[in-house]
Structure 1
């Protein structure tokens, strides 16, 4: 061939972030290198879905049977995977294979690498974070991609994963993509037919197109959601779940839905055992998630967020309806009354599913609630049409439950004493921290159950409920709680005369100044000398703490200091106050009690003065 007729090869350099990502993949040890095959098949399946969609809606040429073909050569250690899907243009190659698919992918994988013992990554994360194609560099040193899209020249993309890639025009007659490479020595087993077949059955058995391995069909192309529930078996359902969700575990449970009427559809939905990794690491991670949407068994959207409200989008699966036309656009899906009705029905059935789990399989529900309870609670303030159902699903630890066990609002109300008019709760960072709060003492002594809110979401959600079964929900750290004391307790409280306690409270108030709203006598304390409570209109202390974390300059609202007139410390101070109101020891102790209350609720900014003052008091107490 003359110099003028040689194909022009363009060299491209990966961006810095892409170089780091490739280096991380190539040189890190993964737990399951076989995942590369799952990712290549998944990409081929997506290309075939687009081709089929184009055939049905635009009349594009068929190109024969839509399929995935794999061929291997054990002696040469060669591997080829080919599809006759939509194909790629030169621009597609640069966009899809030359850049990191998702923002933040590199940082996330790097963090996971550092956390994993021995630097191993969980390969099941690959598909979730947009680096699927690049996983091929785990098993080869160089990849060649030959591809053609209708109406454009065919191209060959080549890279060794070391910082550059090349693209050249080639002569390829038919639409589709062919990926070829030679396997590394340590990955030579992937040139064995039995090995390839086992990986396909494990990860890709339910790909919606036939997969041929050296001309032998090896996968099962079956729309499980179209089968009656009675014909489904757990093994195939679990395998299908792993395929659609890219999860390595079996699902916690699944829901089969078949609806006929004003709108008709079938669905197979899955409840994961654990929250997805990206849901834990990224705010708004569920915003663009959702089950797969099919119309007439043809995939319309891989992640259809319009099928479910955001707080339920951790559920994966497939929804198939014949009430949508195949040429529907994403914009039409969003505004379609059919989709709105499907969403309404699915949401109702899913919430009913959760309720059934709670009644019939409480341990399974407890596992589900531990993983996804915080997300479900968000629905209270976003899905008002199902608010009452969501309230019934709420679960809380309480002063009467063991750690990790839950109580419902219905159960709480059912065991309230006749004279109890309110549902009480207390929020904090952990069960241990909440149970150490002095504000619980009265309720513990009286045997009044208190809900313990330790989920950060609770403080934003629970106050919005206002009441349940005509019983107001009330934080016990608020000052406006009605404490009904018995005559005997009133006598005990009167151990310090009203005049003396009033004088002492004034000294406390003068000492603390504008750091507190006021200082008052307490009716809630039993064993502690003092506590801090919020005014009736003040925000929850946990909310205040979170806001302060977000804005360090945010000022804290003033609180009310309650003093226990029956406590020995307060009695002793009252005696000293009777002798000398200006006794400096009274003011020192007042400061210490105030900061001690701050410390218990986690709001003491500096412990230096607190410890210094404590040492001063110990020194005074230990004098001969």
Structure 2
């Protein structure tokens, strides 16, 4: 100990594990030294919050001036000062807060640090775990001086070089609050640049609930809009806030303000973008690391917090702010926190309810939303079983009874089904135009039966998993097990059964193992043939998608059933030729040509050269005059 004009300087030893921790930090273990400023501002904000609470509850005097954080830097000398007029600390609090690790588990924390050091990737959020955020300052300096006074206590100066000890002495300080000063290391000189500090403040602390002044100028210019009531929000400021946090040049399509108090308390301001990037729509894992920003007491904790929402909702951007988590919470704690799980549950329910309300009250806005994000929403059907029914009600489809880009719900579809219809029918393909011209649709259009048109690539993977809606099975009209026989009218001229049987035999003999079977069709109206899938086979669109997903372009292909239309003139003509000569080359070539024409419509024709060549031969034979 030694005496000075200010009083007695007392030296204290750090505990053993604290020395090890400081050694790790001092030796630049972290790859994100800018975190020090976030931690210092966070601590100052917390002190100001406590001072405001004490003032509001009459436990402390009002003090002088506004509650604020001030930062002063000098580029030449590399001096750095941050001070606040918050609650301050007594000598006992200095020892408790800065002389020891506030929470247990530090050895486990250090082990995590060592492991990350081996992997050469240090998580910046670990710096705040276990109450050691203040010590991140040793990443940028060799010695720190903390001068502080709390109301009713003597002022003290705490000094440490991050080694094995620290000192405390009484000082003459009139004002309440804390002043932290140090000289930046040479390799940390960037943090004496105003522009660099402005960027860090905007990134991490722009929404702290107190003004942050940098060399006399206010540096956190954007208000914490989510803390306002919904009625206080103005569209212009909300739009600008969205652009700021999302780095989007467009206004959001819509936003949702959430304020929850109860088992957990939080506020949120969430946004739907105008458009979804293509990689977000169809690239596997594109949403894995997306999510709203997580704030604790208006301090940024995670920029992309995926744990706030299920993957299929992570196109939503915005801010979620809670006071039910520790300010220095780590990513690992966030992932396993019951508080986060409850927030996620509430937000998911709020968002799905918001979408449903939008659909009912703002149908045009919902149509734009669904067009942009419908493919992502559908992913939730196979992942979020808790909200599966809500997601099914959100589904929208084009159909044979809607105009292009207009949608029908499953509820709408069932509501206008005829009494005879017991199933919900759909057809999948690449485009509406292609589907409307598909032979398998002919019977349904003739009978006025609505068919859902699935053109979204995601549909073929998620829609079959619904199985049924309102006790009505969903069935692809490409399936061979749909019973059309009871609807036969007998109005059209058709090949007799005596002629159909031998013709089917020749079809099977000619096509061999190219098809599973050849059968008489009851679904065709104006086309001679069509390909359908067996009861348990994949739809043609599913097979096409799987082929596209495989790098080598290969995929298992199930054999189809070829259905022939006995009432079509071509089939009647072939039946007549078959009765005369079942070995007729024109008959056999025509059968192959009909099969490949059906393949062509399915997008599965692999040899167009042979197809065209055979077509030319048939035209030549048909136009021969002798």
Relative to structure 2, which stretch is displaced further, 416-425 or 334-343? 334-343
Alignment correspondent of 2:37: 48
Counterpart of 1:177 in 2: which secondary structure?
A: helix
After superposition, residues 388-407 of structure 1 pair within 5 angstroms as: 388-407=389-408
Q: Calculate the TM-score normalised by the size of structure 1.
A: 0.70
Counterparts of residues 149-188 of structure 1 (less than 5 Å): 150-152=137-139, 177-179=191-193
User: By how many angstroms is 1:301 displaced?
Assistant: 1.5
- The answer (yes or no) to whether the contact 2:205–2:300 under 8 Å persists in 1 is no
Aligned-pair distance for 1:302?
1.5
**What pairs up with 1:53-452 in 2 under 5 angstroms?**
53=42, 150-152=137-139, 177-179=191-193, 208=208, 215-217=216-218, 220-276=221-277, 279-280=280-281, 282-452=283-453
CA contact (8 A) 1:48 1:66 kept: no
- Contact kept in structure 2, 1:149 and 1:176, CA below 8 Å: no
Task: Give the Cα separation in 1 of the matches to 2:36 and 2:523.
Answer: 67
- Aligned CA distance change for structure 1 residues 214 and 417 (closer, same or farther; 3 Å): same
> 2:443 is paired with a residue of what secondary structure?
helix
Is residue 442–residue 524 contact of structure 2 (8 Å, CA) maintained in 1? Answer: yes
CA deviation vs aligned residue, 1:500-532 (integer Å, no higher than 9, x gap)? 011001000000000000100000000000000
Distance 2:606 2:39 in 1: 58
Q: Number of matched residues?
A: 485
Measured in 2, the distance between the counterparts of 1:240 and 1:519 equals 63
How far the C-alpha of 1:175 sits from its partner, in A, is 8.7
TM-superposition CA deviations, 1:280-317 (whole Å, max 9, x none) = 58431211111111222222222111110000011111
Match of 2:513 in 1: 514
Contact 1:204–1:219 (CA under 8 A) maintained in structure 2:
no
Over 3 Å counting, the alpha-carbon distance change for 1:48 and 1:172 in structure 2 is: same
Counterpart in the other structure of 1:490: 490
Q: Tell me: CA distance 1:149–1:491, structure 2 relative to 1, closer, same or farther (3 Å).
A: closer
Structure 2 vs 1, CA of residues 221 and 47 (structure 1 numbering), >3 Å: closer, same or farther?
Answer: farther
> Which SS does the other structure have where 2:535 is aligned?
coil
Q: 3-state SS of the aligned residue for 1:285? A: coil
Give the drift of 1:207: 5.3
What is the CA–CA distance in structure 2 between the aligned matches of 1:264 and 1:325, rounded to whole Å?
13
Q: CA deviation at 1:68?
A: 7.7
Contact 1:66/1:83 (8 A) holds in 2: no
Q: CA separation of 1:614/1:68 partners in 2, compared to 1, >3 Å: closer, same or farther?
A: farther
Structure-2 change in CA distance of 1:255 and 1:67 (3 Å): farther
Pick closer, same or farther for the CA change 1:203–1:344 going to 2, 3 Å.
closer
C-alpha displacement of 1:239: 1.2
Output the CA distance in 2 between the equivalents of 1:441 and 1:397. Answer: 17
**Aligned partners of 2:326, 2:219: CA distance in 1, in Å?**
32
CA distance in 2 between counterparts of 1:588 and 1:443 reads 30
Deviation at 1:223, TM superposition (A): 1.5
Aligned to 2:115: none
What are the superposed Cα offsets for residues 142-192 of structure 1, whole Å, 9 maximum, x if unpaired? xxxxxx97335669xxxxxxxxxxxxx9855999714489xxxxxxxxxxx
Cα distance change of structure 1 residues 152 and 326 upon mapping to structure 2, 3 Å threshold? closer
Greater radius of gyration (CA): 2
Say which SS state the counterpart of residue 522 (structure 2) adopts.
Answer: coil
Secondary structure of the residue aligned to 1:375 is helix
Unpaired segments of 5 or more residues in structure 2? 1-31, 48-66, 84-119, 121-134, 143-182
Bigger drift between 428-437 and 44-53 goes to 44-53
1:384-439 Cα shifts (integer Å, max 9, x gaps): 00000000000001111111111100001111111000000000011111112100
Residues of 1 paired with 2:437 and 2:309: CA distance?
41
Deviation at 1:83? 10
Separation in structure 2 between the aligned mates of residue 338 and residue 584 of structure 1, nearest angstrom: 76
Instruction: Find the aligned partners of 1:51 and 1:175 in 2 and give their Cα distance.
Output: 17
Q: Which blocks of at least 5 consecutive residues in structure 1 are unaligned?
A: 1-42, 59-63, 73-79, 86-98, 100-147, 156-168, 182-196
The match for 1:499 is: 498
